[in-house]
A and B are shown apart, each in its own frame.
Chain A
Amino acid sequence: MLKNLPRRMTSLVLVIALAAGISGCWDKVEIDDRAFVLALAIDKFEYSEEEKARVEEQGAEEEQQGMTPKEYPADSRRNRIVVSIVYPNVGLLGGKGGLIPEDMKFPMSTVGPDIYECLSQLAISMSKDIFLGHLKAVLVGEGLAADRQLFMEVLDDMDRNSEISRNVYFIVVEGKAQQALFIEPLVEPIIGTYIEKIFETSARSSRFHQKKLGDVLRSLDIHGDALAPRLVMRERELAVAGSSVIKDYRHAGWLGEIETRAVQWIDNMVRGGIITVYVDDIPVPYEITEAGREIKIQHDAGGNLRMHILLKGEGNIVGYKFAEKQELMDDKFIKSIEKAIEEEVVAECTGVMDKLQHQFGVDIWGFSEYLRKYHPEIYDEVGKDWEEIFPEVKMLFSSDIKIRRIGITK
């Protein structure tokens, strides 16, 4: 017995371990017991004034009668945000005819103090385990984004969580996010996939800000400001267009689609899109195939900073007017169109820069980082006070557009 002691001890230990193990399986959740939440919507919980009064009245009545209030009381510390989720009916998807055949997806929402509590409140009425590992999009309502405190909480929740991938799309919704989440879209039944596909397939239009949660968080980390894509709701469609300007961790305003494209051009993020200019009253759409920018920074006479940004682009003309006398296959004419486009681009960029510098006062591009990397001496001077200095920096734009092709007819 003693001779084999090491071996027997090993076996004993293993057996005990195995026994303990089988009783556990602590993390095991069968895949069909999971609710794959593909899109998450967060709104601020608030009533309008009349609603507030009504609810309070009703609540007081109900309490007198000894019943629990049916509506959420307005002033409770617990009721701060509305979390809504949508998860697909996998039974239907798998083609096996699930247990509940009618609905493609299940919308749910609840009110609570923070995301995690809300999720656990939702869980008590769900037969499935909430799984966020395949989350595609997070929709944040305008109201919540404008509330700095709440917004920062929500941002941290996204950041700290290891389950939520940094690749999810983080969108600010014009209006209530819950509404956007619960619409019945025409084209794609599952909201999360719908939004994901919009982002993926329209990447080249440049009409929205091409960034994901990770980028937004990073931007916020570095300088407290960021640009996030905007979601616009229509009756049975969603559109991702334009962006939300986030300044000092709260939503400060919107930028339109063209403005967003200009911002991206300055940020060297444009990959495609259409600009329409008017030449002799004829609209000529120009399709961008490549775009870029170059930056030069100098001190001017008065010791202020000047930034000269050159906006470059290459592309094709895709439309003109039928049977027009002036042909496109004419170098001089093409050059004149180029000039028109250049002017347009400069105008757009100047406009948006003005808006961001003076109306918002936000360096959305993170030029401070650019200075830190490429001009460390300048950064050492101005880095700390960049927020005040930025609006004073003189921005000059110039543009260099090239038209390469004009289609198959002259």
Chain B
Amino acid sequence: MDLLNKLFKPKKKDDTKEMPREKGFADLRKNLQFFKERLKDCDDVVYREFSVGSKSQYGFAIIYVDGMVDKFLINEEILKSLMLEVTRSRPSPGLFSDNIYSLTLKGAVTSGEVKEEEYLDKAMTSLLSGDTLLLVDGYRKVIVIGSKGWTNRGVQEPQTESVVRGPREGFSETLRINTSLLRRRLKDPNLKIKQLQMGKQSKTDIAVAYMDNIVNRGVLEEVNRRLEAIDIDGVMDSGYIEQMIEDNWFSPFPQVQNTERPDKVAAALLEGRVAIICDNTPFVLLVPATLNILFQASEDYYERWFVASAIRLLRYVSASVSYLFPAVYIAITSYHPGLIPTDLALYIAGTRSTVPFPAFIEALLMEATLELLREAGIRLPGPIGQTIGIVGGLVIGTAAVDAGLVSPIMVIIVSLTAIASFTISSYNIAIPFRLLRFMLMLLALILGLYGIMIGILITLVHLCSLKSFGVPYLSPLVGTPYYELKDSFIKAPRISMQKRPESLSGGNDVRLRDKRREGPGKGGKSENGKKR
């Protein structure tokens, strides 16, 4: 029987049943019963029944989840208003004899956010989101009072993206705080923030933010489409979303950008990109994301262009170094010593004469050790983690050299590679280079310099065919008008960045007007402000 069942069962069982859409009961008892049943064994839910009216003739009840609500608000605005103030006020007789429910809804409750809800399951969701439910005896509908208040980390400096110059505010784990951080930077009605819920059992609040007059409509539609297509039980972090809306999840290169910095998000929105904010995580997603965008840092825009260009170039060079260096070392020492100056070749040969391994193994060993140290450094708390990095590196490196297991050149190369990979601004774009480095090393092992070229070609082909929400990953280097290059390898002076990148925006181009050329008498602000 069981076997037959297994054979004929069409698909996997979906355990999460949809909650039946029950409407509220008129009877207060029955409503309370509904909630108490569903929330059996949820001891953090509080039920408070009370009477309102001079003669306590009306039965009310509130339900809230302890820990998620602003108790002050409940006590002051709800309980106090209803229990005390109401009796003190003298409503006009007409109003009074009217529906006690509407009175409560529209007049008595002094809290700011008040809605009514017909369906109990939705009310349940609100309750579990931190709202307070107000049940009135004799009425089917439930009054939902916004009372969210829980302890939060608050707005702190983002840990993963610190800057020398620039704001130090970072997103927090509460959606509303995050949206407010965004609003403060873009005080324009065009900033649209559309909310939806994702995750059948987590019912996480997601917000899609964009500038209505700049955004690329195609991208926006695509974002919405992909978000709606997500059918998952829970969303714990924006990472879940990222992985489900990516164009190509096989690729080591991320096609979605994430950040903790509100200034970065605001700037991105001004370019026509779309932000996806996810409750319970400070990491906000930004799409579309190209390679160039992932190499940009906020500071590039706050510092002067010369410094910014130099540092940006440095980043690109670092990426190449972290990608190529060990493989080139392997190729040169194992295949083509003729390519380096004689003295260097002799020196390297000398230092390697006691090393028992071939260059590839040596490199692999050191690289693997370094990756281990790096991971260990991340997991260990605070000062211990940093010490491990230094101690581990120095001790292991020196010891290995003294033991004659690796050559000093190798240690230098590996260290340089590691440092190079740290200079890359965002963590998720450093990773593909770190990983691909190993592929290159393998190719260098087999085919020398030719192998490295093959590896580079494969990587380039992949990058050329990769897209992020319709935008080619390698824009603005390819396929775009040349002015977009002003913000790639170098960062041109702000006064010359007059147009928005066409590939990202919906065509609303002008972001900056060079007033100096236009002569006097044309006062007033430029069209979309100079803010970035």
Contact = CB atoms under 8 A, between A and B. Distances in A.
A210 B347 CA distance: 29
B346 A93 contact: yes
Interface stretch (B253-261, B349-357, B498-506, B521-529): B349-357
A90 B354 contact: no
Contact of A34 (B349, B358, B446): B349
B338 A134 contact: yes
Interface in B318-344: 332-335, 337-338, 342
Nearest to A17: B446
A59 interface: no
B337 A28 contact: no
A113 to B, nearest CB: 27
A38 B342 contact: yes
Contacts of A25: 334, 445-446
Q: Which of A25, A29, A38, A95 has the most chain B CB atoms inside 10 A of its CB?
A: A25
Interface string B221-232: 000000000000
A25 B334 CA distance: 10
Interface string A147-168: 0000000000000000100000
Nearest to B342: A134
A21 B446 contact: yes
Nearest to B351: A94
B335 A91 contact: no
B77 to A, nearest CB: 60
A257 B334 CA distance: 44
Contact of A36 (B349, B352, B353, B447): B349
Contacts of A98: 350, 353-354
B338 A133 contact: yes
B358 A30 contact: yes
Nearest to B336: A133
Interface residues of A, number: 29
Contacts, number: 87
A131 B346 contact: no
A32 B338 contact: no
B158 interface: no
A21 B358 CA distance: 17
Interface in A125-157: 131, 133-134, 136
B350 A134 contact: no
A16 interface: no
A49 interface: no
A85 to B, nearest CB: 15
A187 interface: no
B359 A31 contact: yes
Contacts of B447: 21
Given A28-B358, A30-B358, A99 B337 contact: no
Contacts of B349: 31-32, 34, 36, 90, 93-94
A31 B348 CA distance: 8
Contacts of A29: 334-335
A31 B445 contact: no
B333 A131 contact: no
A34 B353 CA distance: 10
B346 A36 contact: yes
A31 B334 CA distance: 6
Contact of B337 (A38, A91, A133, A136): A133
Nearest to A25: B446
Contacts of B282: none
Contacts of A28: 334-335, 358, 445, 448
A27 B448 contact: yes
A29 B349 CA distance: 11
A2 interface: no
A131 B445 contact: no
Q: Which of A28, A36, A90 has the most chain B CB atoms inside 10 A of its CB?
A: A28
Q: Which of B335, B342, B352, B358 has the most chain A CB atoms inside 10 A of its CB?
A: B342
Contacts of B353: 32, 90-91, 94, 96, 98-99
B364 interface: no
B350 A93 contact: yes
Nearest to A196: B342
Contacts of B332: 31
Contacts of B485: none
Interface string A5-36: 00000000000000001101101111110101
Contact of B351 (A24, A96, A133, A136): A96
B497 interface: no
B191 interface: no
Q: Which of A133, A163, A193 has the most chain B CB atoms inside 10 A of its CB?
A: A133
Nearest to A28: B334
A32 B342 contact: no
B345 interface: yes
A93 B404 CA distance: 16
A96 B352 CA distance: 9
Contacts of A27: 335, 448
Interface string B376-413: 00000000000000000000000000001000000000
Contacts of B342: 36, 38, 134, 136, 193
A92 interface: yes
A88 interface: yes
Nearest to A31: B333
Contacts of A31: 332-334, 337, 345, 348-349, 352, 359
Given A31-B345, A134-B342, A96 B350 contact: yes
A91 B348 contact: no
Q: Which of A88, A94, A133 has the most chain B CB atoms inside 10 A of its CB?
A: A94
Interface string B422-458: 0000000000000000000000011110000000000
A90 B346 contact: yes
A312 to B, nearest CB: 37
Interface in A27-64: 27-32, 34, 36, 38
A144 B4 CA distance: 94
Q: Which of A30, A31, A32 has the most chain B CB atoms inside 10 A of its CB?
A: A31
B289 to A, nearest CB: 26
A212 B116 CA distance: 95
B335 A90 contact: no
A28 B358 CA distance: 10
A136 to B, nearest CB: 8
Contacts of B354: 91, 96, 98
Given A28-B334, A31-B352, A133-B338, A88 B346 contact: yes
Contacts of B338: 131, 133-134, 163
Interface string B116-159: 00000000000000000000000000000000000000000000
A90 B333 CA distance: 14
Contacts of A24: 446
B347 A22 contact: no
Contacts of A30: 333-334, 352, 358-359
A22 B446 CA distance: 6
A368 B337 CA distance: 41
Contacts of B350: 32, 90-96, 98
Contacts of B333: 30-31
Contacts of A133: 337-338
Contacts of B358: 28, 30
Interface in B40-62: none
Contacts of B347: 93-94
12 contacts: A30-B359, A31-B345, A34-B349, A36-B337, A93-B349, A93-B350, A94-B346, A94-B352, A96-B353, A96-B404, A98-B354, A131-B338
Interface of B: 332-335, 337-338, 342, 345-355, 358-359, 404, 445-448
Given A22-B445, A93-B350, 19 more contacts: A22-B446, A25-B445, A28-B335, A30-B334, A32-B349, A90-B349, A90-B350, A90-B353, A91-B350, A93-B346, A93-B349, A94-B352, A94-B353, A95-B350, A95-B351, A98-B350, A98-B353, A98-B354, A163-B338
